């Protein structure tokens, strides 16, 4: 089980491939706020809803100084399909070995239909301009989550 991040923690650095196989680093966003969200699997109903919500609100978030990065264990090829099928504009990164997901506390025990198993915990971490955690939200719902973030951030 990975430790959950708390506000004030330094956000773990990462470099992961995007849907096109290009390396993307958190450090490249220094000086901007970044919403890093973790989701279980591309092309599934809840994850699609969440990614579309972030895409629909990307202009609002960008105007307020936020970049958005979605991370899942999917390979870049699946992320590219997801992006094309849903016309997504958010940056999608592949974390197949789940090292970044674990570093952010977004991998652990889940319960579904009475079964307990290990998996990606739907989570959103807001990182400030200095690379520190501003907000750490775990076990979030796919539906309505983006609207709640916008409200919580006062955008």
Residues with a catalytic annotation lie at: 47
Side by side, the strands of the sheet bearing 91-94 are 91-94, 66-72, 33-38, 123-127, 133-138
Q: How many helical (H) and strand (E) elements, i.e. helices and strands, does the chain have?
A: 5, 9
User: β-strands 33-38, 23-25: how paired?
Assistant: unpaired
Determine if residue 113 is left, alpha or beta; phi over 0 gives left, psi from -120 to 50 gives alpha, anything else beta: left
């Amino acid at each position: 089980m990975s430790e959950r991040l708390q506000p004030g923690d330094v956000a773990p650095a990462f470099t992961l491939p995007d849907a096109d196989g290009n390396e993307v680093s958190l450090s490249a966003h220094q000086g901007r706020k970044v919403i890093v969200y973790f989701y279980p699997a591309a092309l599934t109903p809840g994850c699609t809803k969440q990614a579309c919500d972030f895409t629909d609100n990307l202009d609002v978030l960008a105007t307020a100084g936020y970049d958005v990065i979605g991370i899942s264990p999917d390979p870049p090829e699946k992320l590219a399909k997801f992006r094309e099928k849903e016309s997504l504009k958010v940056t999608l990164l592949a974390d197949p070995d789940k090292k970044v997901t674990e570093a952010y506390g977004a991998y652990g025990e889940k319960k579904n239909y009475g079964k307990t198993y290990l998996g990606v915990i739907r989570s959103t971490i807001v990182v400030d301009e200095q690379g520190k955690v501003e907000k750490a939200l775990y076990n979030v719902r796919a539906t309505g989550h983006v609207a709640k973030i916008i409200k919580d951030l006062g955008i």
